[in-house]
Structure formats: structure tokens, C-alpha cells
Amino acid sequence: EIVLMYSGDGEDRPTLEPVIFEIEIDTAVFPFASLKTVSYFKAENEVLFTIVSVFRIKEVLPQTNTIWLVQLVTDKRENQDIEQLSKHLKKEISDKPSLLDLERVLFDTAECDRAEHYCTILDEQLPLDDF
């Protein structure tokens, strides 16, 4: 299984524990997007959740002798911290988000390498007077 390949074999225990997340999604009330049609790895059934997604731990079980299975369920209750972040992001990002908006968010969340990557793209693609 692909998931076992990515979860690790437990060689870094007890500092790091290999974990597999299994997520139960209530599709009637929880927004998400399937990436199956656009993903390079079609068999992985990847999905994208909104930034305000909240999950509740249903159960933690040993999957094997070295790997834990964490079962999560979607929780439609809004976390106050997440709600505050969402309001902040809506205020910071324009109606038509650009790479510059993404760069600002990444920089604010200490993702400096990624922010620099998108700044480089902007620098290469846009004329100087567009800034």
C-alpha cells in the first residue's frame, strides 16, 4: 500500500511515531474537493479541504507493531481560532487572489521559502510597473 510507504517504518521511535490518518467525511455538510482528476497520482484519491476545516479524533489504534492509525471525523463546528484566521485572510486577500496575495499569506505563516519561490515567479512574469 502507498500509505505504508509514506508513513515510515518506526526507525525514529520514540522521537517520531509513524501515523496513518483515516478521515471520515460527511459530504453533505463538509466542503472538500477531490483532486483525483488533476493529481499526478490518481490512485492516491487525494482531497483538498478548506483552511477552516476542523477534525475530531474518533479513535487511535495500532495499525501494525510500528504504525498508528488515527481515525478522524469531520466536525462542522467552527473553531474560534480558525474563524479568526479565516476573517483575517479574507481581509488580507483581494477578491481576485493573486500570487502576490499567496506570497503575503505564506510569509505571514513563516513559509518564507515558499513565499520567496512565488516572489521569484512574480518577478519573472510581471513587468516592473505592475507592482
Residue 103 is predicted with a pLDDT of: 66
Q: Where are the domains of the chain?
A: 2-74, 93-130
Residue 98 is predicted with a pLDDT of: 67
Regions of the chain short of the pLDDT cut 50: none
Residue 16 is predicted with a pLDDT of: 84
Task: Specify the residue for cell string 477552516.
Answer: 52
Residue 44 is predicted with a pLDDT of: 79
Residue 70 is predicted with a pLDDT of: 96
Its pTM stands at 0.56
CA gap 2, 43 in Å, rounded: 9
Nearest alpha-carbon partner for 109 in 51, 53, 55: 51
Q: Quick check: 97 and 90 in contact, CB under 8 A?
A: no
